[in-house]
Every structure is written in C-alpha cells, then in structure tokens.
C-alpha cells in the first residue's frame, strides 16, 4: 500500500527528471546545431568552390542561342600556341571563322566565294586559362540536367560547371548569348594548317576595321570583346 503511494511520486519525479533533462539535451543539441550552422556557413564563405581553370588545349562543340538565333560553334582553345578559334555555323546560314591570336590580332572570315574578311587589333590577347579567377560564387543549380556550381564574373558572364566532373556545362554572356557545352575534349589540338587565315585577309584593301564598326554577323566573340573593352575582365 505504501509502495503504491510512493511509486507514483517517484515515477512522477523520475518523469520530470527525464523530461527536464530531455529539454536540456534538446536545448544543447539545438545550440550545437546553431553553432555548427554558423561555423559551416562561415567555412563555406571562406572556401567556396573556385572555377576550374580551362585546360591549356581543348576542343568543344558549343550550342549557342542568341535571342533565338541558333548556331553551332567549334571552339579550339590553344593557349600554348597563343591562339583561339571559333568556327561558327549559323543555323541555315553562314559558316564563319573567328580566329584570334594572343598578340591581339583577330580575323573574321568566310571561306566561300564571298571571300569576306575583317580583322581587328585588340589591346588584349585570348582568354587566359585562369580567366575565371575572382568570379563570385553563386551556389548550385541544375542546368541542362547537370548539377552545377555557378559563378558570375561581374557584368560579363554567368558560368556553370559540373559539380562532379568539373567540366563547363553552360555559360551566359551579359548580352544574353547563351552557350551550352556539347563536347569537351581536353588536349585536342587543331592541325596548324587550319589556323591559316586566307590570303584575302592580307590583301591591301579597306578591310581593317576598328571594333566599334565591327559587326560580325551573329559572331560569337563580340560580347567577349565588348566585355574586355569594358575592362570588366581584369586580365
């Protein structure tokens, strides 16, 4: 009988002990969680992912969309030889060659009977392999079905890189030109003969244009040049 009276008290005491220690434990866990979150967000800011530098040489097939004008671009990036090539097939349109040298000379030409060529002299050469350095990390986003880290290089480009493979997947210029990377062949090099601008690029005529008047039809590099000229590239 005595036991029966005491027991509920003990039980109640025990229960309240348990419940208060549970509260204490929960509180502690909560504090730990808050602290951990704070620490990890500080850590995340300190070592947020950096864009992978471009390989010194690669070939990419790019799908480009500029306000609904579509093109396929063969990009041959060749840093050791100081050259970069965009061979641009506009949809049901011109095949355009955009050849850039690291000394700042660029040639834009066709290889058909129209024999068009324009050249330009820029202050800067081709993009450096580390041209994305200093870009601001924006977090992760799924693009074209690939989970990507996303960066923005001020006023110039949004750049999406596959989280797992570190390959570029997508980028968008501030002009709205949108690029989707279809292939990415690291180490591929275009044979030297293909880097020769046609003879009519060197004929004496009024083909030397300064950049402001240089309208390369649906050209791919234009925004890059503008971006560089705007001084936003910090190259």
Ligand X SMILES: *[C@@H]1O[C@H](CO)[C@@H](O)[C@H](O)[C@H]1NC(C)=O
Q: Which residues contact ligand X by CB under 6 A?
A: 65, 67-68, 70, 101, 103, 105
Q: How far is the CB of 219 from ligand X (least distance, A)?
A: 17
From residue 138, how far is each of 60, 104, 119, 145, 219 by CA, in Å?
A: 25, 32, 37, 18, 28
Q: How far is the CB of 172 from ligand X (least distance, A)?
A: 10
Q: How far is the CB of 65 from ligand X (least distance, A)?
A: 4
Nearer to ligand X, 50 or 128 (CB): 128
Nearer to ligand X, 56 or 70 (CB): 70
Task: Give the three-class secondary structure for 120.
Answer: strand
Q: What angle do CA 95, 101, 106 make, to 5 degrees?
A: 50
Q: How far is the CB of 121 from ligand X (least distance, A)?
A: 6
Beta pairing class for 83-90 and 95-101 = antiparallel
Rg, the chain, Cα only = 29
Q: How far is the CB of 22 from ligand X (least distance, A)?
A: 56
Nearer to ligand X, 47 or 191 (CB): 191
Cα 89 to chain centroid distance, Å, stands at: 22
CB 76 within 8 A of CB 84: yes
Q: How far is the CB of 75 from ligand X (least distance, A)?
A: 18
Nearer to ligand X, 135 or 197 (CB): 197
Nearer to ligand X, 9 or 67 (CB): 67
From residue 210, how far is each of 126, 207, 213 by CA, in Å?
A: 17, 10, 6
Nearer to ligand X, 55 or 198 (CB): 198
């Amino acid at each position: 009988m005595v036991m029966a009276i005491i027991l509920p008290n003990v039980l109640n005491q025990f229960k309240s002990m348990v419940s208060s220690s549970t509260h204490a434990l929960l509180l502690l866990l909560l504090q730990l969680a808050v602290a951990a979150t704070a620490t990890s967000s500080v850590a995340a800011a300190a070592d947020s992912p950096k864009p992978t530098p471009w390989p010194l040489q690669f070939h990419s097939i790019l799908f480009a969309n500029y306000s609904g004008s579509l093109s396929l671009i063969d990009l041959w990036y060749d840093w050791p030889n100081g050259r970069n090539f965009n061979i641009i097939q506009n949809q049901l349109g011109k095949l355009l060659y955009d050849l850039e040298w690291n000394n700042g000379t660029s040639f834009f030409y066709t290889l058909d009977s129209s024999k068009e060529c324009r050249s330009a002299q820029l202050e800067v050469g081709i993009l450096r392999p580390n041209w994305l350095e200093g870009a601001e990390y924006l977090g992760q986003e799924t693009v074209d079905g690939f989970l990507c880290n996303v960066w923005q290089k001020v006023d110039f480009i949004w750049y999406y890189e596959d989280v797992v493979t570190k390959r570029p997947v997508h980028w968008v210029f501030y002009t709205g030109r949108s690029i989707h990377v279809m292939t990415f062949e690291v180490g591929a090099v275009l044979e030297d003969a293909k880097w020769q601008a046609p003879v009519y690029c060197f004929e004496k005529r009024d083909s030397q244009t300064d950049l402001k008047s240089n309208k390369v039809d649906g050209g791919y590099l234009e925004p890059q040049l503008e971006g560089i000229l705007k001084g936003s590239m910090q190259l």
